[in-house]
């Protein structure tokens, strides 16, 4: 689903937050006020900062502000904290040699699709080794040519894979999941442990639905970081990533897991560094390029160098008119008129457009290749997706690499 176009982050500026003598450099100072979470900041620590030093500093924050950080993050050496305070309070605690940079916490979101009128209740096609009457997206990623509606895949694969869908949650009772959707964690305060929006259920269905999914026997895990309006924050996204990473390791599933993140906001060094930390810890992260018809370099996590960034193409192999582009993209995938599971009933389906819909095609493909080929590192998975991809078919790819995701099974 299309993500909101937030203000672009430009070069860091010094902004006076308290008295004229108390200036704090904010890395994303140029964000519009409407795009930022009021009185919420992400403080990112230097790589050299150890846990004892950070703990002591958090004690200083408690002493000066009367409260601890709202959240603490430690993802494979990416260490940060979410401090909730006003500008004057930040000025009291911002002068510390442990700090690498500070960002305003900001909103990330999904936006309503333009293709939002087609909904029906009933079963989709039965999955087979060669699944007939599949979605056009499944047909496209299993053939090197467009126009197919049969999905060719290895039915023995995708078992014992785990895709963490960081989104609006998942309606785990949908018939597409056949018990393979599980609730993970909820980072939207006061919200129920279910999908109240639909976006997450739709993306999860494309990853692993029995009939509309790429990786049909895989497990999808709901990590709710976006609300019923489709919005969230940098702090919530980082918290969700940290939880998912810890969960994968606790289950000894780190080499058979994928993160799928169909969300986005303005450029954020903290989000991109958190992605790098997850990838560095051995889990591939697949992200949406965004839906602003702009260079993806201006958005996060789309601009994260170590993420697998996905643009959207249509049935005719044309870059979707809304899809972001640029040399930072890794691959295109079907993202227009995509049918998948919906949250309103256990047999409901919906058509949506967006790089959000392209992303789970590739996240599912990543899980499929992990199981099928025994790939064990994010670099190997990303390289395999690029190597397998169908080349030079995307019309109007602009400055993007001209590749369409392909599972290697068709013609």
Reading phi first (left if > 0) and then psi (alpha if -120 to 50, else beta), residue 56 is in alpha
Q: How far is CA 218 from CA 177, 187, 202, 351, in A?
A: 9, 24, 15, 22
Average pLDDT, the chain: 91
Our answer to whether residue 58 is catalytic in this structure is no
- What's the mean pLDDT in 381-407? 98
CA 60 – CA 93 distance, rounded (Å): 8
Which band of pLDDT confidence, cut at 50, 70 and 90, is reported for residue 3? very low
- The DSSP bridge partners found for residue 75 are 78
What are the DSSP calls for 262-320, one per residue?
Answer: --BEE--HHHHHHHHHHHHTT--EEEE--SSSSBGGGEETTT-TTSEEEEEE-TTSBBP
CA 85 – CA 107 distance, rounded (Å): 17
Our answer to whether residue 356 is catalytic in this structure is yes
Catalytic-role residue among 105, 167, 317, 353 = 167
**pLDDT for 111:** 55
**pLDDT of 125 over the 60 cut:** no
- Please answer whether residues 147 and 410 qualify as being in contact, where contact means their C-beta atoms are separated by less than 8 angstroms: no
Reported pTM:
0.91
Reading phi first (left if > 0) and then psi (alpha if -120 to 50, else beta), residue 210 is in alpha
Which residues have CB under 8 Å from 252's CB, separation 6+?
Answer: none
- What's the mean pLDDT in 187-213? 98
The model's pLDDT over 140-164, given as tens digits with 9 standing for 90+, comes to 999 999 998 889 888 877 889 999 9
- What's the mean pLDDT in 75-84? 97
- The DSSP bridge partners found for residue 30 are none
Classify the C-alpha dihedral 329-330-334-339 as positive or negative.
negative
Q: What is the CATH number of domain 13-106?
A: 3.30.70.80
The model's pLDDT over 31-78, given as tens digits with 9 standing for 90+, comes to 999 999 999 999 999 999 999 999 999 999 999 999 999 999 999 999
**pLDDT of 368 over the 80 cut:** yes
- What's the mean pLDDT in 155-182? 95
What are the DSSP calls for 157-214, one per residue?
Answer: -STT-EEEEEES---TT-TTTTT-EEEEEE-STT--SS-SSSHHHHHHHHHH-TTT-S
* Delimiting residues of CATH 3.30.70.80 domain(s) in the chain: 13-106
Q: How many CB atoms lie within 10 A of CB 86?
A: 12
Catalytic-role residue among 199, 247, 257, 268 = 199
Alpha helices in 114-171, H assignment, sequence order: 136-141
- What's the mean pLDDT in 309-330? 98
Our answer to whether residue 199 is catalytic in this structure is yes
CA 233 – CA 67 distance, rounded (Å): 20
Reading phi first (left if > 0) and then psi (alpha if -120 to 50, else beta), residue 289 is in alpha
* Delimiting residues of CATH 3.40.50.200 domain(s) in the chain: 119-404
Which band of pLDDT confidence, cut at 50, 70 and 90, is reported for residue 132? confident
CA 148 – CA 140 distance, rounded (Å): 6
- What's the mean pLDDT in 169-190? 98
CA 115 – CA 118 distance, rounded (Å): 7
- What's the mean pLDDT in 370-381? 95
**pLDDT of 17 over the 60 cut:** no
The model's pLDDT over 258-317, given as tens digits with 9 standing for 90+, comes to 999 999 999 999 999 999 999 999 999 999 999 999 999 999 999 999 999 999 999 999
Which band of pLDDT confidence, cut at 50, 70 and 90, is reported for residue 23? confident
Q: What is the CATH number of domain 119-404?
A: 3.40.50.200
Catalytic-role residue among 313, 356, 389, 400 = 356
């Amino acid at each position: 689903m299309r993500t909101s176009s937030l203000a672009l982050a430009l070069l860091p500026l010094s902004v006076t937050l308290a008295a004229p003598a108390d200036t704090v450099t904010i890395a994303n100072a140029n964000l519009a006020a409407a795009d930022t979470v009021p009185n919420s900041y992400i403080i990112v620590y230097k790589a050299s900062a150890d846990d004892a030093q950070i703990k002591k500093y958090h004690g200083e924050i408690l002493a000066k502000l009367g409260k601890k950080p709202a959240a603490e993050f430690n993802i494979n050496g990416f260490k940060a904290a979410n401090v909730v305070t006003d500008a004057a309070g930040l000025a009291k605690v911002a002068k510390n040699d442990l700090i690498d940079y500070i960002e305003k916490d900001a909103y990330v979101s999904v936006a309503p699709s333009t293709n939002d009128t087609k909904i029906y209740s009933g079963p989709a096609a039965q999955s087979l080794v060669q699944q007939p009457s599949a979605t056009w997206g499944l047909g496209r990623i299993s053939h090197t040519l467009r126009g197919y509606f049969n999905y060719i895949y290895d039915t023995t694969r995708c078992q014992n894979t785990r895709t963490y869908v960081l989104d609006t949650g998942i309606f785990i009772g949908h018939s597409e999941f056949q018990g393979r959707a599980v609730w993970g964690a909820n980072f939207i305060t006061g919200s129920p442990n279910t999908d109240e929006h639909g976006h997450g259920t739709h993306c999860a269905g494309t990853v692993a639905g029995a009939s509309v999914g790429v990786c049909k026997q895989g497990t999808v895990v709901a990590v709710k970081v976006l609300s019923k309006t489709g919005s969230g924050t940098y702090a919530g996204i980082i918290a969700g990533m940290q939880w998912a990473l810890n969960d994968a390791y606790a289950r000894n599933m780190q080499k058979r897991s994928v993160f799928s993140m169909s969300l986005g906001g303005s450029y954020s060094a903290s989000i991109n560094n958190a992605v790098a930390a997850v990838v560095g810890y051995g889990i591939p992260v697949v992200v949406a390029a965004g839906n602003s018809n702009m260079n993806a370099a201006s958005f996060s996590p789309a601009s994260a160098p170590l993420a697998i960034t996905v643009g959207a193409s249509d049935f005719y192999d044309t870059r979707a008119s809304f899809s972001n582009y640029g040399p930072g993209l890794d691959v295109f995938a079907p993202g227009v008129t995509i049918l998948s599971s919906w949250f309103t009933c256990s047999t409901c389906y919906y058509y949506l457009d967006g790089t959000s819909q392209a992303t789970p095609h590739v996240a599912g493909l990543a899980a499929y290749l992990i199981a099928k080929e025994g790939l064990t590192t994010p670099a190997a998975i990303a390289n395999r997706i690029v190597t397998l991809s169908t080349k030079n078919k995307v019309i109007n790819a602009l400055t993007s690499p001209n590749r369409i995701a392909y599972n290697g099974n068709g013609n």
